[in-house]
Amino acid sequence: KLGIGAMTDARIESFYDKMVKAKVVPVRVDIKKSYTLAFVNKGVGIDLKK
């Protein structure tokens, strides 16, 4: 559907929650400011899937 390197807000939020639980990052980090989906989810590589 989304192609190679696909990411979603939900996937990133899930990863962040796991890192908070493991005490790797503080709870107060605004994750929306730390990434962009502008360059992913373009369907790249779907035509190569067999």
Q: What is the pLDDT of residues 1-50, one digit of tens each?
A: 777 778 999 999 999 999 999 999 999 889 999 998 888 887 777 777 76
Residue type (1 letter), 44: V
| 8 A C-beta contact, residue 44 and residue 6 | no
This prediction's pTM: 0.69
Using the Cα atoms of residue 50, residue 4, residue 41 and residue 25 in order, give the sign of their dihedral: positive
Token couple for 39: 């360059």
Token couple for 29: 């980090």
